[in-house]
Chains A and B, each alone.
Chain A
Amino acid sequence: DIVMTQSPDSLAVSLGERATITCKSSQSVLHSSSNKNYLAWYQQRPGQPPKLLIYWASTRESGVPDRFSGSGSGTDFTLTISSLQAEDVAVYYCQQYYSSPCNFGQGTKLEIK
């Protein structure tokens, strides 16, 4: 099984500042044939289901603000929020869908400083 490890577990950032979350997979999730990393990022607000933000490690889902960006390849990935807004307070998860089980990271709780 591929284990996903996020850091930090929690993060407090001032409004308008940058927030960065990292995710590491225990094996590469780069699909060689498609040259795509099978890595997604989700945002989950309290009482809501998760929402897909980023897929293929760096492709923004339709409707997601461009302050959200993803980067990385192979086993190391980053989610960046360039200028934190109040509505970005949530828990963020990375997930690999390269192979079953499609494991998630433990989550990173993002708060306003």
Chain B
Amino acid sequence: QVLLVQSEPEVKEPGASVKISCKASGYSFTTYYAHWVRQAPGQGLEWMGKINPSGGVTTYAQQFRGRVTITRDTSTRRVYMELTSLRSEDTAVYYCAREGAEIIPTFGVTPRGFDFWGQGTLVTVSS
């Protein structure tokens, strides 16, 4: 079965960096885009960026550009999200998610939302 297992919670001081991992299993790792989404305490879902595990091409949300880097290691089937220059507002649960896809006859592969999610990793930024 498809599983996304994330790394353990982190506590960081302001100004530090954090790198979270997401290990995928149960499917062809390089076939599906991986996304990162975060959720501050009591708040909604905020999309951060995505990676194509096949070629490593990334796209980031404007508000995180320059601070976030998403990478992957195909040998270990892991996707990583590194966030630098942490501030208290970055305290949140960070999720990885797989972008599902289906083949539509006469058209081809079509995305179908984020069908599997990791369990979430709490990052606390505090001095």
- With contacts A49-B119, A55-B100 taken as known, whether A97 is within 8 angstroms of B111 at the C-beta atoms is yes
Chief secondary structure at chain A's binding surface? loop
For A49, list chain B residues within 8 Å (CB): 95, 97, 117-120
A52 touches B (CB below 8 Å): yes
In-complex Cβ contact of B99 among A93, A97, A104 (8 A): A97
Count residues of B near A (Cβ-Cβ below 8 Å): 26
For the complex, give the distance between the alpha carbons of A92 and B18 in Å. Answer: 29
In-complex Cβ contact of A93 among B45, B50, B62 (8 A): B45
A93 touches B114 (CB 8 A): no
Count residues of A near B (Cβ-Cβ below 8 Å): 28
| Cβ proximity bits B110-123 to A, threshold 8 Å, 1 near / 0 not | 11111101111000
Smallest Cβ distance from B76 to chain A, in angstroms?
Answer: 22
For A107, list chain B residues within 8 Å (CB): 44-45
A101 touches B62 (CB 8 A): yes
Known: A34-B104, A97-B114. 9 other contacts (CB 8 A): A36-B110, A50-B37, A50-B45, A50-B114, A50-B117, A61-B113, A93-B44, A97-B111, A102-B35
Q: Which residues on B are within 8 Å of A, measured CB to CB?
A: 35, 37, 44-47, 50, 59, 61-62, 95, 97, 99-100, 104, 107, 110-115, 117-120
Pairs across A and B, CB under 8 Å, 6 listed: A36-B110, A42-B114, A49-B118, A50-B97, A55-B113, A97-B114
